[in-house]
């Protein structure tokens, strides 16, 4: 074992790890070698690290490795860092991975994942077998990274590439930050959300580049106090809250801030989407979308309470999701469609407390328009006139 002194000075949220003694565990100690499956080696290294009473760094050096499903858990006795400098490749076929996520980590406090390495899901084969546009209950084809019930932790520097399904799933976490993270996949990679967050509080996505085939960042029910800042998104479907309301047992969404982001060539910019004719009755409140640049974005700002992908639902009854306290501020750039701002709120529970200021969007050189239904926004500064839609949004 190699001992070293490291100083981690992290000045975000409430994470502060200062002057800890770290034990370094090379993956090779546990039989992990380039061009071989390192699942057992990483699992063994984790077991030793988790039992240690002093901080441990697990190192996966430069090189190319294979890996099948790894599922490791805490609680652990001291902070753990996994430094990934190599490229870790998943099996090509989803059934060969051995689990629904390539790497799943759960029930840990003070986790760091760092390095300049890559988790490569090799997803192109799986994308061809995605049938979610035809099947309501489609088969999920596997994610690169899953973080469950993790607190006071950070992921920085690493890349997730070509995941078969979502790149990252964050569930039940608190005070968890992505910083300098990267997601890369082609625009036609179906259902490859970059970072999906659900039932978590205090998640930060900072200084991150996301190119994928679905939402760059998606926020599911129970997301609270989430900050998405200085994120570049494109290609992709934008930064989305929802979809919400499909299930009765969902939890409220509150305190979401999307700030200082740039969206390039995406199908949506910032979006709130809820299902009509479904049982969910939660509230969505305290949303802030500000200081955002749109570059040829088809739907730059959109509240869609008639969200019904692939016509897999009925619009017989309006959405029961109540949206309130939404700030849309300092949005600029170019729209790929004439309607740059669309607020299609529910006729059953109209949006309340919507404030819009300084929205400067153009379409083909002319000012983009705005349509609003079931909402009376407070307008300040330069904002396109809000008119009623001529037809209902599909």
Q: Which residues are catalytic?
A: 237
Residue found under tokens 């740039």: 262
Q: What count of other Cβ atoms lies within 10 Å of the Cβ of residue 365?
A: 6
What is the residue-wise DSSP string for 168-207? EEEES-EEEEEES-EEE--TT-TT--SEEEES-EEEEEEE
Structural Rg of the chain based on CA atoms: 22
Q: Give the Cα separation of 359 and 53 in Å (integer).
A: 53
- Which residues contact residue 6 at a Cβ distance below 8 angstroms, ignoring those fewer than 6 apart? 20, 22, 57
Q: Give the Cα separation of 203 and 197 in Å (integer).
A: 8
Phi and psi (nearest 5°) for 18?
-125, 125
Q: Give the Cα separation of 164 and 88 in Å (integer).
A: 14
Closest CA to 267 of 295, 227, 229, 244: 295
280 near 326, Cβ under 8 Å?
A: no
Q: Give the Cα separation of 180 and 118 in Å (integer).
A: 13
Q: How many helices (H) and strands (E) does the chain have?
A: 2, 32
């Amino acid at each position: 074992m190699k001992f070293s002194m490291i100083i981690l000075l992290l000045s975000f949220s409430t994470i502060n790890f200062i002057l800890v003694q770290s034990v370094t565990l090379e993956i090779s100690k546990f039989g992990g070698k380039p061009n071989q499956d390192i699942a057992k080696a990483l699992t063994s290294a984790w077991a030793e690290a988790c039992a240690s009473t002093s901080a441990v760094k697990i190192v996966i050096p430069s090189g190319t490795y294979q890996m099948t499903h790894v599922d490791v858990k805490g609680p652990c006795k001291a902070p753990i860092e996994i430094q990934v400098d190599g490229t870790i490749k998943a099996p090509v076929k989803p059934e060969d991975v051995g689990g629904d996520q390539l790497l799943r980590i759960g029930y840990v406090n003070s986790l760091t994942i760092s390095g300049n390495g890559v988790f490569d899901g090799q997803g192109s084969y799986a994308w061809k077998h995605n049938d979610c546009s035809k099947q309501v209950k489609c088969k999920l084809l596997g994610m690169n990274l899953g973080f469950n019930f993790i607190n006071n932790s950070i992921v920085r520097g690493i890349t997730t590439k070509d995941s078969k399904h979502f790149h990252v799933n964050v569930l039940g976490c608190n005070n968890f930050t992505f910083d300098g993270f990267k997601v890369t996949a082609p625009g036609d990679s179906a259902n490859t959300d970059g970072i999906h967050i659900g039932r978590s509080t205090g998640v930060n996505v900072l200084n991150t580049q996301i190119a994928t085939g679905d939402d760059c960042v998606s926020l599911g029910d129970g997301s609270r106090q989430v900050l998405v800042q200085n994120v570049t998104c494109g290609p992709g479907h934008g930064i989305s809250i929802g979809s919400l309301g499909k299930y009765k047992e969902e939890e409220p969404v509150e305190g979401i801030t999307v700030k200082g982001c740039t969206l390039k060539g995406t199908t949506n910019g910032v979006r709130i989407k809820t299902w009509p004719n479904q049982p969910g009755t939660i509230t969505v409140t305290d949303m802030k979308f500000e200081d955002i640049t749109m570059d040829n974005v088809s739907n730059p700002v959109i509240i869609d309470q008639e969200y019904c992908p692939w016509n897999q639902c009925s619009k017989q009854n309006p959405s029961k999701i109540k949206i309130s306290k939404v700030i849309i501020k300092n949005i600029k750039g170019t729209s790929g469609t004439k309607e740059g701002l669309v607020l299609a709120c529910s006729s059953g529970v109209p949006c309340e407390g919507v404030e819009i200021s300084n929205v400067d969007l153009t379409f083909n050189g002319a000012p983009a328009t705005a349509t609003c239904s079931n909402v009376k926004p407070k307008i300040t500064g330069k904002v396109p006139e809000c008119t009623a839609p001529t037809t209902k949004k599909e």
